[in-house]
Amino acid sequence: MWTMHKSLAPKTLMVPMTPDRPARLALRVAGQMARELGSRLILAYVSTEPGHMEQVGFKLESIDEIRDRLEGAMGAIIQEELGDQPHEAVASVNERADGIVALARTHGVDLIVLETRPRSLLERVFTPSVSAKVVQHAPCAVLVLPEERPE
């Protein structure tokens, strides 16, 4: 167990999540930190998909609908990692790194806890790292954890 002077403790933590990358380790670490430090915990869902098309014209899902859909899809993982620990859920439709940074600014986040994943050679060459971009542009500290791998 570690201790931190209360004035240095982050008051608001945020864990970015997507259905394809549930960030179990980041959830676990941020949940423990929030419990021990009495911090606010935000789960951030950033989707690059603007929504769905309805039969009559184009209708974008509201941010609330996106958040609810994603939280529902990941509810079992959230329950498993956080139990009944209080948390808030926020959502954004944006490029992932930009959305994470924007949500951190909007919600006064002091620490972003995110999880990386191994990237293929093609991904490293042709697509920028979300983690690296978040670290470069975040308005707060960023804790980057390696993806938890099954033993």
- The average pLDDT across 11-38 equals 88
pLDDT tier, 11 (very low <50, low <70, confident <90, very high otherwise) = very high
Q: Count of domains in the chain?
A: 1
Query: Helices 63-73 and 75-82: crossing angle, nearest 10°?
Result: 70
Range(s) of the domain holding residue 32? 18-145
Beta strands in the chain (DSSP E): 12-17, 40-47, 88-93, 111-115, 141-145
Q: Given a cut of 60, is residue 119 above it in pLDDT?
A: yes
For residue 118, tell me if it sits in a domain: yes
Residue with tokens 């930190």: 33
Tokens of 59: 């209708």
Return the pLDDT at 53: 37
Q: Which of 15, 95, 18, 16 is nearest to 50 (CA)?
A: 95
For residue 86, tell me if it sits in a domain: yes
Return the pLDDT at 58: 42
For residue 7, tell me if it sits in a domain: no
Q: Given a cut of 60, is residue 63 above it in pLDDT?
A: yes
Higher pLDDT, 96 or 19: 96
Distance CA 53, CA 97 (A): 25
For residue 3, tell me if it sits in a domain: no
Burial class (CB in 10 A: 0-12, 13-18, 19+), 118: exposed
Q: What is the CATH number of the domain that holds 76?
A: 3.40.50.620
For residue 92, tell me if it sits in a domain: yes
For residue 114, tell me if it sits in a domain: yes
Return the pLDDT at 17: 85
For residue 95, tell me if it sits in a domain: yes
Q: Which of 10, 24, 31, 45 is nearest to 86 (CA)?
A: 31
Instruction: State pLDDT tens for residues 72-114.
Output: 667 777 778 887 888 888 888 888 999 999 999 999 999 999 9
For residue 136, tell me if it sits in a domain: yes
Indicate the pTM of the whole model: 0.79
Beta strands in 12-136 (DSSP E): 12-17, 40-47, 88-93, 111-115
